[in-house]
Amino acid sequence: MAFTRSADGTRIHFEVFGRRDGEPLLMIQGLGADSRGWILQRRAMGARYRCIALDNRGVGRSDKPEGSYDLETMATDAIACLRAAGFDSAHVMGASMGGVIAQIIGVRHPEHVRSLVLACTACRHLPWRRKLLHSWADLALAEGIGSFASENMRWLIGSRSLRRFALPFRLLGPLALNVPDHAFAGQVHAILAMDDALRLELASIAVPTLVLVGSQDILTPRGDSEEIAELIPDAELAVVWGGAHGFMFENARTFNQIVRRFLLTAEADGHERLPHLVRG
């Protein structure tokens, strides 16, 4: 367990695990999720990479400040964790909101990025999704995060899994979100405040990039990932058939295989041009 301080003094928790001499992999989770969201990736990624998995501000063991949140600030939180772990650059993997944060790092802080993995994410707002996110924040503030988790699993879990495991998801969903109501709403509003102009800057990304999406993802559908892959030069698009928004745990084996295959190629391509450690 480790902590670092962001530029505004917020304490951010992160874990470092995996192969000690492996290349660094910075892992950024999505809305309301902490580093436990990568639990089914720990072994697969840690076998080869030195993993840095953080709790975004507002979740897990990180501070949960009142007031507004900002994705640009959360990107610098992630970089602070990377540097505190002893690295100046890393392969960066983000899911959902974490995928947007990873895009921001790729555009604003390219010197810290060896490659990008962008999972179940988007680069622009859509009117229906903006309305949905507003309703999530309102529900969390009015009735608590438990109500949100119980009522909105269908956006995160595939229909087949939801039918088979409906009761466990309803019971365990609220427990999986280690986030107070105000912090969840703060993260939602940070997403809503994201400038759509970010997508116009994706063409500047010059590192190997993998974009993944589940074929049954209804929150960030395939079209979102196709747009990102078209905007980032030479980006690779992978579709996980049968996967929904939470495909990193529903389809963990396939997810891990695709990501590891990509990272091996990116690692080989960039081995000669990027530094490994900045401090021990």
Q: Which domain holds residue 86?
A: 2-125+196-270
* Of 134-138, 161-165, 179-183, 204-208, highest mean pLDDT: 204-208
Structural domains in the chain (count)? 1
77-113 pLDDT, tens digit per residue, is 999 999 999 999 999 999 999 999 999 999 999 999 9
**pLDDT-based confidence at residue 168 (cuts at 50, 70, 90):** very low
- The answer as to whether 186 is a domain residue is no
pLDDT value, residue 166 = 46
Average pLDDT for residues 156-162, to the nearest whole number? Answer: 57
- Which of residues 274 and 259 earns the better pLDDT score? 259
Instruction: Give percent of the chain with pLDDT exceeding 70.
Output: 86
**pLDDT-based confidence at residue 279 (cuts at 50, 70, 90):** very low
Using CA atoms, how far apart are residues 188 and 72, in angstroms rounded to an integer?
14
What kind and span of H or E run contains 94?
Answer: strand 90-95
pLDDT value, residue 170 = 47
Q: Has residue 275 got a pLDDT over 90?
A: no
pLDDT value, residue 23 = 97
Average pLDDT for residues 111-116, to the nearest whole number? Answer: 98
CATH number of the domain where residue 219 is located: 3.40.50.1820
- The answer as to whether 205 is a domain residue is yes
* 62, 41 Cβ separation under 8 angstroms: no
- The answer as to whether 33 is a domain residue is yes
- The answer as to whether 102 is a domain residue is yes
- The answer as to whether 174 is a domain residue is no
- The answer as to whether 142 is a domain residue is no
User: Max CA-CA distance within the chain?
Assistant: 53
- The answer as to whether 22 is a domain residue is yes
Residues in the chain: 280
pLDDT value, residue 177 = 61
What kind and span of H or E run contains 210?
Answer: strand 209-214
pLDDT value, residue 60 = 95
| Cα of 90 vs its chain's centroid, Å | 15
Average pLDDT, the chain: 89
Using CA atoms, how far apart are residues 120 and 124, in angstroms rounded to an integer?
13
Least confident residue range of 54-68, 150-164, 175-189, 222-236: 150-164
Q: Tell me, yes or no, if the pTM score tops 0.85.
A: yes
**pLDDT-based confidence at residue 19 (cuts at 50, 70, 90):** very high
- The answer as to whether 58 is a domain residue is yes
Average pLDDT for residues 2-10, to the nearest whole number? Answer: 95
